[in-house]
Structure 1
Amino acid sequence: MRGHRLLVDSGVTALAPAIWGSTYLVTTEMLPADRPLLAAMVRALPAGLLLLALGRVVPKGVWLWRALVLGTLNIGAFFFLLFVAAYRLPGGVAALIMSIQPIVVLVLAALLLGDRIQVRHVVTCLVGAGGVALLVLRPAAALDTVGVLAALAGAASMAAGIVFTKRWGRPAGVGLLQMTGWQLTAGGLVLLPATLLAEGLPSTLTGTNLLGFGYLIVLGSLFGYAVWFRGIDRLPALAVSFLAFGSPVVATALGYLFLDQVLTVAQLAGALVIVGTVLFAQPRRARRATPSNSLVPSVK
C-alpha cells in the first residue's frame, strides 16, 4: 500500500516538469521578445500574491529569511535563468544542459547533509543525461555562451532549492499551498525591481502575450509548483529531481507537434532511456529508519 502511494505521488509530481516542458514553446511563440526578467516576474508574483491572499498566513521568525532563500532559489533566480536559456538556446539544448540537476543534487546532498554518494546513483544520473542527449541534440543545434551559462546556473539553483526545501520542510500549521505562495511571492518580489530597472514594462501587450502569461501563471506556477512542492514533501529529493527529465521529453514532443520538427530513431530511443531512468529512480517503498531529510531514494 505504501509503495502504491509512492508511485501515485511520483506520477502527480511528474505533471509539473511535463507542464514546464512547454515553457520553451510558450516563451518563443507567445511572449514578448527578449524580456526574460518580465516573463519570470509575471509568472511568479501574481500567482504568489493570490496564494498569499487565500492562505492569510505570512512567514515569521526564521521563516522570513528561509522563505526568501527558497523563493530566490526555486523561483526568482531559477525563473530568470530559465527564461534567459529559453530565449537564447533551442529548447532541447537548454533542457539537455539543465539535465545535470540530479548530479548537482547528489553533490549538494553530500556536502550539506552528509549523504553518501552511491555509484548506482551516479550511473543513473549519467544514463539519464545520455537519454536527454539522444533526445534533443541535433547537428545544427546552436550553442550560445550566455544561454549555456544561464542553463547551468538554473540547474544549480533548482538543485539547491530542492535540497534546502527538503531539509527545512514546512513550519507547523502551514499548508502546502501557503508555503508555495510564500516562495512564489518572495521570488517575484526579488525579480520586480530588476525587471523595472533593466527591462521596464512593455508599452503594449497582444492577446497572444496575455494568453502566454496566463498559461504560465495558472498552469506553470499555481498548479505546477503546488504539485512540485507536494512531491518534495513526500518523496526523496533525488527521486524528485529525476522527474525533471520529463521536461525535455515534453519540449521535444511539442516541437514535433507545433514547430514541424522531425523525430528520429535516436530521439525515440532517448525518450525510452529517459522514461526508464525516471522509473528506476523512483522509490518503491520507504526504508526503515530513513531520516526525514534524506535525499537518497530507496530503489528496490
Structure 2
Amino acid sequence: MTTARLRATVASLLSAIAFGFSGLPAKVAYDAGFTPLQVTAVRIVLTAIVLLAFAAPFTGLPKLASWRLVLGYAVLGVIGSPLLYFVAVSRIPVGVAMVLEFLAPVLVALWIRFVRRTRLPASMWLGTVLALVGLAMIAQLFDAVSFDLVGTLAGLGAAVGTAAYYLLGEHAAKDGDPMALTIGGMVVGAVLISIVSPPWALPWHAMTTPTALGPVWLGLVLLALVSTAFAYVAGILALRHLPSAAASVLGLVEPLVATLAAWLILDQVLTVVQIVGAAVLLAGAAIVQVAAGRRIEPDTPPTL
C-alpha cells in the first residue's frame, strides 16, 4: 500500500467515524423537540457557513460549468441520503433502515461493473458481502420482522444517495476540485433545505435545553463541525487516492461506531452477535482494501 493510499484509507476511516458519532447529538436534539428535517437543516446550513468562511477563501467555489455535478451532489449526497434515512427510521426498525442505507457499497460496485464496465476482483465482492453480513449482525436485522413499503423505499433511496456521494465525490476528486464540490454542494443543499425547513420555524426555545452532551445548541454545533464538515471534507479528499468501491465499504464502519458510541455513552448493551458482527464487518472491509490495491483494468474507457 502506497503512502498516498494509506493516508486516504485513514482519512476515509476518520470520515466514517465522524459520521458515526452524528447520531448522539441528533438524538438529544430530537428529544428536545427538533424534528429530523430540522436537525438536517441546521446541520447543513451551519456546515455551509463554516465551509464558506474558512475553506472557500482558500479553495474557491465550483465553476458554473459543473453545476449539474454540484446539484446532484447536493440533492443526493448532502440532503437525500440523511433525510431519507430519517424517514426510514420513522417507519421501520433502525436496524433494517441501517442495513438498507448501507447497501450503498453494492450499488457502487454494480455501477462500476455495469456502467463503467470495469471488472472488480472476486475478493472485493466477497469482502463487500462479508461487511454487509457483519452490518446485519450489528444492526440485529434478524430480530426485525415488521415491513413498511414507504420506509423500505426510503431506506433504499438513502442507499442511492449514499452511493451517489461516493461516486460523484470520486468523479470530482479525479477530474475536478473535490473541496469546491463539497462547498458548493453544502451551499446549494443549505438553500434547498431552508425552503422546506426555514430557520424561523426552528424551536429556538429548545436550544438551551440541557442534555448529556451539554445544551442542545452545542450538540448541533458539534454535529455540524465534526460529523458533517470534517466528515464530508475528509471523505471526499480520501477519494483522490481511494476507489469509491473501497471507500464505500469503509463507510460501513459508521454504523459500527454509532453502535459503540451508544454502548459507551448511552449505556446500551452490546450482544455477542453484535460483537461477532463487528469482527466480520472489519474482516470484510480489510479484504476489500487488499483487493482495491490491485490494478483493475476497465473493459472500455471509464465514465462516471
* Structure 1 residue 105 displacement after superposition: 0.6
Which string of whole-angstrom CA distances, capped at 9 and with x for unpartnered residues, describes residues 41-78 of structure 1?
21112212332244243333321222111122210212
Q: 1:134 and 1:189, CA in 2 relative to 1: closer, same or farther beyond 3 A?
A: same
Q: 1:79 and 1:288, CA in 2 relative to 1: closer, same or farther beyond 3 A?
A: closer
SS in structure 1 at match of 2:198 = helix
2:187 maps to which of 171, 185, 202: 185
Q: How many residues align?
A: 291
The aligned runs of 1:205-216 (5 Å cut-off) are 205-207=206-208, 208-216=215-223
Quick check: 225-234 or 286-295, which moved more? Answer: 286-295
Amino acid at match of 1:15: L
2:295 maps to which of 284, 287, 290: 287
2:156 maps to which of 152, 169, 192: 152
Whole-angstrom distance in 2 between the partners of 1:143 and 1:59: 44
Whole-angstrom distance in 2 between the partners of 1:117 and 1:136: 27
Structure 1: where are the runs of 5+ without partners? Answer: 296-300
2:165 maps to which of 148, 161, 169: 161
Q: TM-score, normalised by structure 1?
A: 0.84
Task: Tell me if structure 2 keeps the 8 A contact 1:132–1:248.
Answer: yes
Q: 1:11 and 1:91, CA in 2 relative to 1: closer, same or farther beyond 3 A?
A: farther
Whole-angstrom distance in 2 between the partners of 1:226 and 1:205: 29
* Structure 1 residue 259 displacement after superposition: 3.0
Whole-angstrom distance in 2 between the partners of 1:140 and 1:189: 40
Amino acid at match of 1:7: L
The aligned runs of 1:26-65 (5 Å cut-off) are 26-31=25-30, 32-33=32-33, 35-54=35-54, 55-56=56-57, 57-65=60-68
Task: Tell me if structure 1 keeps the 8 A contact 2:62–2:180.
Answer: no
2:106 maps to which of 94, 103, 106: 103
Amino acid at match of 1:78: S
Q: Which residue matches 1:10? A: 9
Q: Which residue matches 2:76? A: 73
* Structure 1 residue 196 displacement after superposition: 3.1
SS in structure 2 at match of 1:282 = helix
Which string of whole-angstrom CA distances, capped at 9 and with x for unpartnered residues, describes residues 67-123 of structure 1?
111122210212312333455555544322222111011122234322235543333
Q: 1:294 and 1:257, CA in 2 relative to 1: closer, same or farther beyond 3 A?
A: farther
* Structure 1 residue 263 displacement after superposition: 1.7
Task: Tell me if structure 2 keeps the 8 A contact 1:50–1:181.
Answer: no
RMSD of equivalent CA atoms: 3.0
* Structure 1 residue 131 displacement after superposition: 0.7
Whole-angstrom distance in 2 between the partners of 1:257 and 1:142: 27
Q: TM-score, normalised by structure 2?
A: 0.83
* Structure 1 residue 249 displacement after superposition: 1.0
Quick check: 48-57 or 103-112, which moved more? Answer: 48-57
Q: 1:279 and 1:135, CA in 2 relative to 1: closer, same or farther beyond 3 A?
A: same
SS in structure 1 at match of 2:206 = coil
Task: Tell me if structure 1 keeps the 8 A contact 2:29–2:39.
Answer: no
Q: Does the alignment pair 1:23 with 2:22?
A: yes
Quick check: 187-196 or 253-262, which moved more? Answer: 253-262
Task: Tell me if structure 2 keeps the 8 A contact 1:90–1:141.
Answer: yes
* Structure 1 residue 255 displacement after superposition: 2.2
Task: Tell me if structure 2 keeps the 8 A contact 1:27–1:87.
Answer: no
Q: Does the alignment pair 1:201 with 2:202?
A: yes
* Structure 1 residue 288 displacement after superposition: 7.9
Amino acid at match of 2:244: A
Amino acid at match of 2:10: G
Whole-angstrom distance in 2 between the partners of 1:168 and 1:277: 27
Q: Which residue matches 1:259? A: 266
Which string of whole-angstrom CA distances, capped at 9 and with x for unpartnered residues, describes residues 196-230 of structure 1?
39x93225223232122111110011111110001
Q: 1:29 and 1:60, CA in 2 relative to 1: closer, same or farther beyond 3 A?
A: same
Amino acid at match of 2:7: V
Amino acid at match of 2:249: F
Task: Tell me if structure 2 keeps the 8 A contact 1:22–1:251.
Answer: yes
Amino acid at match of 2:134: G
Q: Does the alignment pair 1:116 with 2:112?
A: no
Amino acid at match of 1:103: V
Which string of whole-angstrom CA distances, capped at 9 and with x for unpartnered residues, describes residues 141-191 of structure 1?
57573444322211111102312222344666x4x4433211211222221
